Amino acid sequence: MSLVANTGKLAGRTLFITGASRGIGKAIALKAAKDGANVVVAAKTAEPHPKLPGTIYTAAEEIEALGGKALPCIVDVRDEKQVQKAIDEAVKKFNGIDILVNNASAISLTGTAHTDMKRYDLMHNINTRGTFLASKLCLPLLQNSDHAHILNLSPPLNMNPYWFSVHVAYTMAKYGMSMCVLGMSEEFKQYNIGVNALWPKTAIATAAIEMLTGDTSTSRKPDIVSDAAYVMLCKDPTKYTGKFEIDEDVLKAAGIKDLTPYACDPKNVDNLLLDGFLDDPAALAQHKTVSSASVRRYHTSAARFAEKAESGG
């Protein structure tokens, strides 16, 4: 359920979204489609996954059903040639790119001893390198847009040691995406390109998360992230850049006061599972650490992820 009204500000704009075949990436694509946007669905899934729904082609069909135009492209963000080919196809079909959403990401919430190098390389090559690569290759086209944005789905750069201690490899990989925001937002000011990050306050009920955890009752729907992304992408990029935003903060600032409809189970609205990398501000100010409640709730989720990842579930 979307609580943010479409304004038409993205009508005719072209969004290049990595990992857009399902989950948050697809939700952002569908929200933009309601404005009449063009969407490049840049993802790996061309054939149906045995456990996860959706392909680049089914996502494209949904986009067009909502009034947008879609270009499904098989893209592994680790492959420079595939990324460049998709960009070239976008230029041919839509005459440019206005917005890049770096959503593709790999996750393994495992400690050092239980993170093999194949898994380490996967996270860093998709999260950090993939984000840098897509941003670099899209840059010449974004420079030609009068409404250029880069939006990374990555957390604020929180240097609390706790977030490194529980899964240092994953933290490094996600923070690489965030450091792209930190650096590129300053570097690209000269081109009037807004570069920002967005991160959910709580767990988000995507099919991948449901497969890993088996439960979404204490999560929110992807709509909360896509609504926040829409608000951000409609802003003036010359004035709005270098921000590390949290989804619910963006929406509250936009006038959405009651976030209950985003909860998968309204009965759990006061017991939602917190996402990683976010500290309780009061506890942090007093103790320079996350609150015990925040640690306990987050760590329960992390442990469940790690158990699933190590068992191959």
Residues tagged active-site: 170
Burial 61-99 (b: 16+ CB within 10 A, else e): ebbeebebbbbbbbbbbbeeebbeebbeebeeebebbbb
CA distances from 225 to 8, 26, 141, 159 (A): 18, 11, 26, 24
Q: What tokens were used for 74?
A: 């098989």
The conformational region for residue 96 under phi > 0 = left, psi -120 to 50 = alpha, else beta, is left
Q: What tokens were used for 272?
A: 């939602």
Q: What tokens were used for 88?
A: 């070239």
Angle between helices 223-233 and 23-33 (to 10 degrees): 50
- Measure the CA–CA gap between 155 and 140, rounded to whole angstroms: 26
Number of CB atoms found within 10 A of residue 217's CB = 13
